[in-house]
Amino acid sequence: MKALADLGFQQRVLPLQQRPHLPMIRMLGFCGGGKRGTIAEAMCQSPRPL
């Protein structure tokens, strides 16, 4: 990265992608089997909060 910066290339930092907050999903009442099941259940029933 430093070599590119020395050549005059501008660099950017991308923010992290938003991920589903599992504790909040569970507080909303979704409780599928394990992490993947909980997210899948929430996605099927109410995809907007994700």
The answer on pLDDT for 50 being more than 70 is no
- Report which listed range, 4-8, 21-25, 44-48, is most confident: 4-8
Where do the structural domains in the chain lie, given as residue ranges? 21-50
The answer on pLDDT for 49 being more than 70 is no
Q: What is the tens place of the pLDDT at every residue in 21-34?
A: 888 888 888 887 78
- Cβ neighbours of residue 5 closer than 8 Å, sequence gap 6 or more: 11
pTM over 0.75: no
Q: How far, in Å, CA of 3 to CA of 31, rounded?
A: 49
Distances (CA, A) of 18 to 14, 15, 21, 42, 49: 12, 9, 9, 16, 12
**In the prediction, which pLDDT does 9 show?**
92
Cβ atoms within 10 A of the Cβ of 31, count? 11
Confidence of residue 17 (pLDDT cuts 50, 70, 90): confident
